[in-house]
Amino acid sequence: MASFQAVKKSLNLAPTVRARPSGVPLVPSLNLSVRAPADSHGHGHGASGPRVDTPPSWAGGVTNSQFGLFSKTYTTGPAPKISHQRLLHTSVVVKDAPEVPDFGHYRAKDSDNNRALSYFMVGTMGVLSASVAKSSVTEFLKTMSASADVLALAKVEVELSSIPEGKNAIIKWRGKPVFIRHRTQGEIDEARSANWKTFRDPESDEDRTQRPEWLIMLGVCTHLGCVPIGEAGDFGGWFCPCHGSHYDISGRARKGPAPLNLEVPAYEFNDADGKLVIG
Amino acid sequence: MSLASSFYSTIFKRNSVYIASVFTTAFAFGIGFDSGVTSFWDSWNRGKQWKDLRGKYAQDEE
């Protein structure tokens, strides 16, 4: 147990500096009377010699005596003064008055002109960018439209004088049959006198024809896409053999499963050449 | 009242007027630019296009 106590006993490490019993450190090799080197150590600040900001030795100093370090001041030496002004420093130079240059020479004589010019330049930029945006949008949309060769194929011309009155003609347009009926006056009267408001797809004959004697329709049954037979059916018009839809002499669905009238394509008459242009 | 200040007070002062005039000017500029470029193209390619040569050939056919 006793040896254990001895191990736990605290130790003080030897001090690096010896001290007298009074507590004054004893450093025999410390030379406290050292001065600044006598040469100018080569960076040109004037005469060599002791530092100007240290008090001279006759005014006092620190001595290392047998009894310890002694600091003694025999006289009140002059306070270390700054012998020259330092020109390089980081603090802002305080000036008596702010030295702002006169910019009057550069100022505009008339600020209205400058303001109008600024707005004008901004507006011109807006004009240019708006036209660029508009033209890019329209050019992009033009790429979606049909090209000229497709449009040329999309039209069909029919010689009207080749179809006698009371006859049907079937032509092919965009891969679909088109019925052209040269109607007689009796058929026109029949088509126009019908009470079309009660029909499944109410549409007047005036809306379906540009000229009463010419009826132009797509020959595709609106039910399931068969091609109806002309001059057949209960109403003297067209009859679809697939599921028995009846169309009248204006191409309107009158009986059977067809939900809509036969479709009328876009067409126009070319009176100079006596032609019908579909498409 | 100078020209600049009259411009400012009529066009630039209200933003709605400013933007409307920008868009109308862009519209007119687009039309003018297109027609200008087209006329330049036609004058540059004078005598090479179908519309210049059409009279020559169409009369021969008829």
A35-54 confidence digits (pLDDT tens): 655 555 555 555 555 566 66
Return the half-sphere exposure (C-beta side, CA atoms, 13 A cut-off) of residue A214.
Answer: 21
Residue type, A141: L
Tens digits of per-residue pLDDT, A160-182? Answer: 888 888 788 888 888 788 888 88
Whether B12 and chain A come into contact, CB under 8 Å, resolves to yes
Whether A57 and chain B come into contact, CB under 8 Å, resolves to no
Pair A216, A277: CB distance under 8 Å: no
Whether A120 sits inside 8 A of B33 (CB atoms) is: no
Rounded to the nearest angstrom, the gap between the alpha carbon of residue A166 and the centroid of all alpha carbons in its chain is: 64
Distance CA A216, CA A178 (A): 7
Query: A123: which chain B residues are within 8 Å (Cβ-Cβ)?
Result: 11-12, 18, 21-22, 25
Q: Give a yes or no: residue A122 inside a domain.
A: no
Using CB atoms, pick whichever of B4, B18, B26 lies closest to residue A130: B26
Higher pLDDT, A99 or A133: A133
The Cα of B27 is separated from the nearest Cα of chain A by a number of Å equal to 7
Which two three-digit tokens encode residue A130? 């708006």
Q: Give a yes or no: residue A265 inside a domain.
A: yes
Distance CA A39, CA B1 (A): 80
Q: Find, among A276, A258, A124, the residue nearest to A215 by Cα.
A: A276
Distance CA A257, CA A221 (A): 10
Which two three-digit tokens encode residue A15? 């001090």
Tens digits of per-residue pLDDT, A223-247? Answer: 888 888 877 777 878 888 888 888 8
Quick count: other Cβ atoms within 10 Å of Cβ A225?
A: 10
Tell me: pLDDT of B5 over 70.
Answer: yes
Residue A233, domain extent: 156-278
Tell me: pLDDT of A139 over 50.
Answer: yes
How many percent of chain A have pLDDT more than 70? Answer: 77
Q: Give a yes or no: residue A114 inside a domain.
A: no
Using CB atoms, pick whichever of B2, B21, B26 lies closest to residue A134: B26
Instruction: Give the angle B57-B60-B62 at the CA atoms, nearest 5°.
Output: 115
How many percent of chain A have pLDDT more than 90? Answer: 9
The residue of chain A with its CA nearest to that of B31 is: A131
Pair A174, A158: CB distance under 8 Å: no
Distance CA A28, CA A19 (A): 11
Which two three-digit tokens encode residue A128? 């240019």
Higher pLDDT, A77 or B12: B12
Whether B24 and chain A come into contact, CB under 8 Å, resolves to no
Q: Give a yes or no: residue A272 inside a domain.
A: yes
- CA distance between the termini of chain A: 120
Query: Which range has the worst mean pLDDT, A82-86, A143-147, B7-11?
Result: A82-86
CATH code at position A261: 2.102.10.10
Quick count: other Cβ atoms within 10 Å of Cβ A19?
A: 12
Residue B1: predicted pLDDT: 66
Provide φ and ψ at A212, rounded to 5°: -60, -30
Whether A131 sits inside 8 A of B12 (CB atoms) is: no
Q: Give a yes or no: residue A98 inside a domain.
A: no
Residue A243 annotated in active site: yes
Whether A113 sits inside 8 A of B4 (CB atoms) is: yes
Distance CA B14, CA B35 (A): 32
Tell me: pLDDT of A117 over 80.
Answer: yes
The residue of chain A with its CA nearest to that of B13 is: A119
Q: Do A170 and A61 share a structural domain?
A: no
Delineate the domains of chain B, giving CATH numbers in brackets: 3-61 (1.20.5.260)
Residue A1: predicted pLDDT: 46
Using CB atoms, pick whichever of B8, B11, B26 lies closest to residue A127: B26
- How many A/B residue pairs have CB atoms within 8 Å? 47
Residue A17: predicted pLDDT: 65
Tally the domains of chain A.
2
Q: Do A177 and A63 share a structural domain?
A: no
Which two three-digit tokens encode residue A171? 């032509």
Give kind and range of the element (H or E) at residue A123.
Answer: helix A111-144
Which two three-digit tokens encode residue A237? 């018009």
Q: Do A161 and A271 share a structural domain?
A: yes
Tens digits of per-residue pLDDT, A57-86? Answer: 777 778 887 888 888 777 665 566 666 666
Which two three-digit tokens encode residue B43? 């004058």
Q: Give a yes or no: residue A266 inside a domain.
A: yes
Q: Give a yes or no: residue A79 inside a domain.
A: no
Higher pLDDT, A148 or B52: B52
**Residue appearing with tokens 């003609």:** A169
Residues near A269 by beta carbon (within 8 Å), at least 6 away in sequence: A160, A210, A211, A214, A275, A276, A277
Residue A190: predicted pLDDT: 80
Q: Give a yes or no: residue A127 inside a domain.
A: no
Q: Find, among A178, A136, A140, A137, the residue nearest to A157 by Cα.
A: A178
